Amino acid sequence: MKQMMPTELKAWLDDRGREPPLLLDVREPWEFSMCSIEGSLAMPMNSVPARFRELDAGRQVVVICHHGGRSMQVAMFLERQGFSQVINLAGGVAGWAAQVDSSMATY
C-alpha cells in the first residue's frame, strides 16, 4: 500500500504539469462538512462497497480520512477491486491541517 504525506500531496496538487489525483474523502458527512481538502469527493467509508464502481479504476486516487486509518482500509479494499493507483494520505485531514493548511478547522 502506497502512502503519501500531506506535504507531498500539496506539491502534487500545486504541480500544473501533473494530472491531479481523485481525492476520495471517506469520512462521515458531518466530518466532511467541518473541513475538507478542496476538490475532494465525499464518499463515506460505509458506502464505498456499493459505490466504488462510480470511480475510475485507472485513475490515481488519494484516499483521505481524519488520521489515515479508515482511508488505509478503503485503499486496500479498492486495490482488491482492481484499482492499481491508490494512495493513502498518511495523517489524513488532521495532518493536512498541521502540515499544509493551518487555517483548516480541526476536530
Q: Which residues are catalytic?
A: 65
Helix (H) or strand (E) run with residue 98 in it: helix 92-99
Give me the torsion for CA of 48, 52, 54, 60, rounded to 10°.
110
Distance CA 44, CA 31 (A): 10
Q: Do the beta carbons of residue 92 and residue 62 sit within 8 Å?
A: no
